[in-house]
């Protein structure tokens, strides 16, 4: 698999201090540059930027995937298996409310993966996933 280039994602938040606590504190993402309007975070090697913006209306859309209602839009990262398990345990310990609890999706099928969904303090949906066999990432 070729080396992946870091992606950049800018997303809205309604409270920069809450974003700093969530992404920097809870998820452990190092902070980069910032201003009174935005904060850069190192999101597992990728650059995400929390931009202060007014709340959006009607973000409650879901699509069915493997018997669960997956929130749309969402973003996240594919972690190593042990990283995923460690993060899931930390989120549980901190009382994070999951949209979809950590579980094995497509069990016994092509593309089997661990996945979990939760929201940041601004209501943005995140998905973290992991494959025991990362070659299954784009398998059909």
pLDDT value for 57: 65
| Dihedral over Cα of 133, 134, 137, 140: its sign | negative
Query: For the CA atoms of 80, 82, 88, 90, what is the dihedral angle to 10 degrees?
Result: -120
Q: Which residues pair with 38 in a beta bridge?
A: 51
pLDDT digits (tens, 9 = 90+) for 23-39: 999 999 999 999 999 99
Task: Give the residue among 133, 108, 140 at the shortest CA–CA distance from 1.
Answer: 133
Mean pLDDT computed over 77-91: 97
Is the model's pLDDT at 125 over the cut of 90? yes
pLDDT digits (tens, 9 = 90+) for 60-75: 788 889 899 999 899 9
3-state helix, strand, coil in the chain (%, to 5): 20, 45, 40
Which domains are present in the chain? 1-54 (3.10.180.10), 63-140 (3.10.180.10)
**Both structure tokens of 138:** 């784009």
Are 130 and 114 in contact by the 8 Å Cβ rule? The answer is yes
Is the model's pLDDT at 14 over the cut of 80? yes
Is the model's pLDDT at 86 over the cut of 80? yes
pLDDT value for 138: 87
pLDDT value for 2: 63
Residue 83, SS3 per DSSP? helix
Chain-wide mean pLDDT for the chain?
93
Burial track 48-75 (b if 16+ CB lie within 10 A, e otherwise): bbbebeeeeeeeeeeeeeeebebbeeee
Q: How many CB atoms lie within 10 A of CB 86?
A: 12
Q: Where are the alpha helices (DSSP H) in the chain?
A: 16-19, 81-93
- DSSP classification of residue 136: G
């Amino acid at each position: 698999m070729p080396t992946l280039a870091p992606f950049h994602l800018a997303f809205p938040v309604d409270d920069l201090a809450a974003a700093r606590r969530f992404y920097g504190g809870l998820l452990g993402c190092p902070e980069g540059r910032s201003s009174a309007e935005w904060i850069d975070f190192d999101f597992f090697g990728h650059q995400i930027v929390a931009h202060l913006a007014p709340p959006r209306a009607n973000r409650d859309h879901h699509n069915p995937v493997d018997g669960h209602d997956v929130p749309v839009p969402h973003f996240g990262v594919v972690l190593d298996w042990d990283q995923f398990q460690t993060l899931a345990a930390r989120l549980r310990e901190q009382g994070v409310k999951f949209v979809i609890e950590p579980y094995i999706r497509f069990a016994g099928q092509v593309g089997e993966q661990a996945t979990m969904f939760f929201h940041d303090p601004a209501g943005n949906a995140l998905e973290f996933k992991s494959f025991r066999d990362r070659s299954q990432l784009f398998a059909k």
